[in-house]
Amino acid sequence: MELLLCSLVFLLMAALVAHGRDTDLSRDSFPKGMVFGTASSAYQVEGNSLKYGRGPCIWDSFLKFPGATPDNSTANVTVDEYHRYMDDVDAMVRVGFDAYRFSISWSRIFPNGIGRVNKDGVDYYHRLLDYMLANKIIPYVVLYHYDLPEVLNNQYNGWLSPRIVPDFAAFADFCFKTYGDKVKNWFTINEPRMMAWHGYGDGFFAPGRCTGCRFGGNSATEPYIAAHHLLLAHAAAVKVYRDRYQPAQKGTIGILLDFVWYEPLTYTTEDEFAAHRAREFTLGWFMHPITFGHYPETMMKFVGERLPRFTEEQTRLVQGSADVIGVNHYTTYYVRNYDNLTQMSYANDWHAQLVYERNGVPIGKQAYSKWLYVVPWGFYKAVMHVKEKYRNPVIIIGENGIDQAGGDQLPHALYDTFRIDYFDQYLHELKRATDDGARVTGYFAWSLLDNFEWRMGFTSKFGLVYVDRKTFTRYPKDSTRWFRKVIKNEE
């Protein structure tokens, strides 16, 4: 009995410490009108992937192979937001979030990629949007987040074919027409670089193509082809919106780009150039065409004829094709000059090597994911780089967060002081960037829930809310109370 009482006292003290964790941040720390929200993607939270008329996407087939995730999990059920969206919107309201960034499943709307419309899928997003708006949660809608309809991959190799461009534009057109009276904030594609690289460069993501992969591929050419079509599809959808819907609907449209900050390992000219190449081969791959109408000179030099070129008409289509730029940022790496001549590939074309420590000192504390280090100062540099290099665009931070091990159980999984520390440090750096003139209008924490994390399955948890996988009951973590204190200016 005494041991039980001591345990209860300890848990209560831990909760109080987390609840009262001090910070000098508040909504007033940021520019007036700054939107705070949380983010997800359809495939990671909706579940019901085989129900209600949804067609399969490339991840459904990709995950059938044993070992695709450490726990052999799939997203067939995940956290069942399809049925429990009201619970999740209610959780946002309790925290004080202004907005929710979610994606629409292409194959839930068009099971065959094009053609027949699935009414059940259309109605689901109407229900979600209506409940959000009734609770004053602003929708930020992403049209595509990794989940290409499987049928289009089978018919013409998906993003490797120019046929994908008009098909994506048609899907976008339907969404603008159907939901545009409720949605004023659109993003076309989330992280095209991750799809081009992992989907067609190293085979880590669906459709799993690369040199030597079981599904075939060419790591030296296919990432550039896929990225080219992703850019053209983005620009085509933006043109549809601007020509047909934006004048009446009065919304904005942009794209979401992942951006790790790359810091030179040493301040030699060689490492400085290596860090520059890393930035150009990642963010610049997409931002340079959108801003200037062509790929970065660095990429053209090192990739040569393997890099597609834009026609004059395509240049006019792509350049300026964003009202807002979404930046997804989590971490920072050191970079050094390095020539890997063993195999021609997108990753080797950088002539750079990622390094995670300097003189034996890690760049930052490592999260559960091996790729994620806590490096707040890199966030400031990343945001300022976008501001200064790309004509000071309007920026939304589309994703930012840190994970914990999936094996943590209640109640310990709720005591996420490390996540609070991460957000506190990173938001201080974001404040510094806005004070220095970066036009940041929104910030979205990844993620609302402990959802399905792609190749990590459920072994990695980024959520502010814990989900019991047996009952699907949602339990807010301490980080939700911290966010409420900041957003609502409450003690």
Question: Which pLDDT tens digit goes with each residue over 73-127?
Answer: 999 999 999 999 999 999 999 999 999 999 999 999 999 999 999 999 999 999 9
Task: State the Cα–Cα distance between residues 126 and 141, nearest whole angstrom.
Answer: 12
Q: Residue 50: pLDDT band by 50, 70, 90 thresholds? A: confident
The domain of 440 spans: 24-488
The 10s digit of each residue's pLDDT in 128-166 is 999 999 999 999 999 999 999 999 999 999 999 999 999
Q: If residue 17 lies in a helix (H) or strand (E), which one and from where to where?
A: helix 2-19
Residue 1 lies in a domain: no
Q: Is 399 a catalytic residue?
A: yes
Residue 6 within any structural domain of the chain = no
* Strand ranges (E), 304-367: 324-328, 332-337, 352-355, 357-358, 361-362, 365-366
Measured distance CA(483)–CA(26) in Å, rounded: 9
Whole-Å CA distances, 299 to 224, 273, 303: 10, 13, 6
- What is the Cβ-side half-sphere exposure of residue 316, based on CA atoms within 13 angstroms? 2
Orientation angle between helical segments 2-19 and 478-488, nearest 10 degrees: 30
- Total domains in the chain come to 1
* pLDDT over 70 percentage in the chain: 95
pLDDT band at 491 (very low <50, low <70, confident <90, very high): low
Question: Which of the residues 222, 263, 280, 399 is marked catalytic?
Answer: 399
pLDDT of residue 342: 80
Residues 182, 165, 329: CA angle, nearest 5 degrees: 65
The pLDDT value recorded for residue 22 is 75
Nearest to 197 by CA among 146, 155, 149, 261: 146
Q: How far is CA 29 from CA 32, 363, 377, in A?
A: 9, 28, 18
- Specify the 3-state DSSP secondary structure of 401: coil
Domain assignment present for residue 8? The answer is no
pLDDT tens-digit readout, 248-258: 999 999 999 99
Q: Is residue 48 part of a domain?
A: yes
**pTM score over 0.85:** yes
Given pLDDT bands bounded at 50, 70 and 90, which one contains residue 2?
A: very low
- In the block, residue with structure tokens 């109370």: 481
Compute the mean pLDDT over every residue in the chain, rounded to the nearest whole number. Answer: 94
Which of 46, 81, 150, 191 is catalytic? The answer is 191
Name the band, by pLDDT with cuts 50, 70 and 90, for residue 408.
confident
pLDDT value at residue 11 = 42
Tens digits of per-residue pLDDT, 262-289? 999 999 999 999 999 999 999 999 999 9
Q: Output the CA–CA distances (angstroms, integers) from residue 112 to 59, 103, 104, 171, 230, in the order listed.
A: 15, 18, 15, 11, 19
Cross-strand bridge partners of residue 144: 189
Assigned domain for 10 exists? no
Whether residue 22 contacts residue 420, with contact meaning beta carbons closer than 8 Å, is answered with no
Residue 4 lies inside a defined structural domain of this protein: no
Q: Look-up: residue for tokens 């000098």? A: 24
Residue 237: per-residue pLDDT: 99
Place 409 in a pLDDT band, splitting at 50, 70 and 90. Answer: confident
Q: How confident is the model at residue 4 (pLDDT cuts 50, 70, 90)?
A: very low
Q: Is 33 exposed, middle or buried (0-12, 13-18, 19+ CB in 10 A)?
A: exposed
Q: Is 491 a catalytic residue?
A: no
In-domain check, residue 344:
yes
DSSP state of 164: H
Q: Is the dihedral of CA 215, 217, 223, 228 positive or negative?
A: negative
Domain CATH for 113:
3.20.20.80
Helix (H) or strand (E) holding 137: none
Within a domain: residue 418?
A: yes
Res 13 pLDDT > 70: no
pLDDT tier at 61 (50, 70, 90 boundaries)? very high
The strand pairing partners of 444, in sequence order, are 37
Q: CB–CB of 422/402 below 8 Å?
A: yes
Q: Are 481 and 414 in contact (CB under 8 A)?
A: no
